[in-house]
Structure 1
Amino acid sequence: MPGNETLRALRLLSRSSGGLLSGSQKVTQRCLARSMATESQVTGSSPDITRSAPAPWDAPVTVMTYNFPTMEPARFVEYSPKHLSMPLRRDLLHRAIVYEGDNTRQGTASTKWRDDVHGSHRKLYAQKGSGRARAGDKQSPVRRGGGVAFGPHPRDFSTDLPKKIYDQAWRIALSYRYQRGELIVIDNQISLPSGSTPYMLESIFRQNGWDTKKGRSTLITEQVNEELFDKVQKMERYASIMDRSDVDVKNLLETQRLIIERVALDRILSQHSRDLKSRPAKATY
């Protein structure tokens, strides 16, 4: 330590000077002792740091809900940042969309190979002597009505994807929509007054700036309302509609905006939170 080296140097000077520095040596020792004690107190003490506010990545996400069809603000709803504040991961979204597409393929395409075609399998004519090109049976793929070479057969196109990755893709897609201001949460049910025409739905979209120039919308409901579904299908140039059970990750990213019921959003987040330790059943108010 530097203090010990200084004391050793002072002792050598005191011996060489015949004790002339004995008084100054005592004073120096006292000063060094005080400084070393102060340093030990400073280094030994640990500052008490307490967080008065949560970190930005732990802060809840506040979402404004609206009443349909007036689109008046209803209230604020808080969601976990792990639900609507996920960073964009294009690789996970791509894997989820490919996984959904593979699972929806029927795989029922089927063709007949030469052994499956009805008819005799004898050789049509002799190999030599006829002057014609050599040929086998009439089920040959090069002949009309014969089998298909390397044609498709029924198979399973489905692929596997870890459930936790699939759940993250759902929340990433919803977070992407929310961060871009394209997630519109409806506090009540999406419905129209009885006796209304599809043109009322068109006027609602135009008043809120959701016309065809700014892209189509996707309406997501918790339950199937046949009357509402019929009216939206007649105005399909403005929007498409589906219930929660028919929604996939691809549907969340297809159109320009999402108009979803709050109950349906809570159900989706609850079902796709298997990778989280604690998953709330619904949003906190």
Structure 2
Amino acid sequence: MAQITVVGKNARTIELDLPEANKHVLHQVVTWQMAKRRQGSASTKTRAEVSKTGHKMYGQKGTGNARHGDRSSPTFVGGGVAFGPKPRNYAYTLPKKVRRLGLAMALSDRQQEGNLIAVDGFAVNGVELDGKTKSFLGWAAQQGLDGTQSVFLVTDNELVRRAARNVPWITALQVAGLNVYDIMRHDRLVIDAIALEPAQEDTQTGEAAQ
């Protein structure tokens, strides 16, 4: 049972039954995410699509040269490409259970390393943040976030996301955008405590939101 300390106006400790991180599962989920993000727009022209004459270059016999048809053959510079890439969709299906398990493991990994900060209200000296970057940096300094490590900020507080979006070492998303890839590529995770508490029952069965 993982114990997570919540900072903010209602400081407390919450317990989550998180699975032990497995590199293979995390790799599977991240690879699936990146495959879905691929644009898949690479395209080459076949010999039927290049702008070349379709006439036979010279006679089939008697020249002493190799037999050729037209200039669009892949053997010539400027000719078509044989088996080249065409626009395609790289996405594939990963079982929902694996995706949810991967998210729970990513949270577990950050918690075990001491790089998970659960927050219940963003305030400095009892004053809620006003959407200004300066006030957010003051809050971040109180939590030991000084820019030496990258931070993944997950909160539904629009003012906090607005204040953090100009900070180069912070990536801010809504709770609905929580994902394994962004968790793993940042050094620290700052997340709304309320986003973790409903997940306690789900992570036991591998059903945390992806």
Per the shorter chain, which TM-score range? Answer: 0.7 to 0.9
Counterpart of 1:265 (choices 196, 204, 207) is 196
1:273 and 1:80 map into 2 onto residues whose CA distance is 8
More contact order relative to length (CA 8 Å, sep ≥ 6):
2
2:27 corresponds to 1:97: no
Partner of 1:212: helix, strand, or coil? Answer: coil
Matched, 1:192 2:192: no
Question: Among the aligned pairs, what percent are the same residue?
Answer: 29
Which of 44, 47, 60 pairs up with 1:114? 47
- Normalised by the length of structure 2, the TM-score is 0.79
Q: Which amino acid aligns with 2:36?
A: N
4+ residue segments displaced more than 6 Å:
none
Query: Whose strand fraction is larger, Structure 1's or Structure 2's?
Result: 2
Q: Which of 233, 236, 243 is residue 165 of structure 2 equivalent to?
A: 233
Q: Whose helix fraction is larger, Structure 1's or Structure 2's?
A: 1
CA radius of gyration, larger in: 1
**5+ residue gaps in structure 1?**
1-59, 68-72, 281-285
Q: Which moved more, 1:119-128 or 1:246-255?
A: 119-128
Equivalent residue in structure 2 for 1:123, among 56, 71, 77: 56
One-letter code aligned to 1:209: G
Given the alignment of the two structures, is residue 244 of structure 1 paired with residue 175 of structure 2, yes or no? yes
Match of 1:173 in 2: 106
Q: Which runs of 5+ in 2 are unaligned?
A: none
TM-score by length of 1: 0.61
Rounded to whole Å, the distance in 1 between the matches of 2:91 and 2:202 is 20
The answer to whether the Cα contact below 8 Å between 2:14 and 2:197 also exists between their aligned partners in 1 is no
Output the amino acid matched with 2:14.
E
Q: 1:208 to 1:78 in 2, by over 3 A?
A: closer
Q: Secondary structure at the match of 2:111?
A: helix
Between the aligned partners of 1:124 and 1:219, the Cα distance in structure 2 is 64
CA contact (8 A) 1:222 1:264 kept: no
CA RMSD of aligned residues (A): 3.1
Q: Quick one: distance in 2 between partners of 1:266 and 1:143?
A: 64
Q: 1:263 offset after TM fit, Å? A: 2.6
What CA deviation, in whole Å up to 9, does each residue of 1:148-194 have, x standing for no partner? Answer: 12210133322332222221111111111112221111112687315
| Matched positions, count | 205
3-state SS of 2:118 partner: strand
* Secondary structure of residue in 1 paired with 2:165: helix
Matched, 1:87 2:23: no
1:159 counterpart residue number: 92
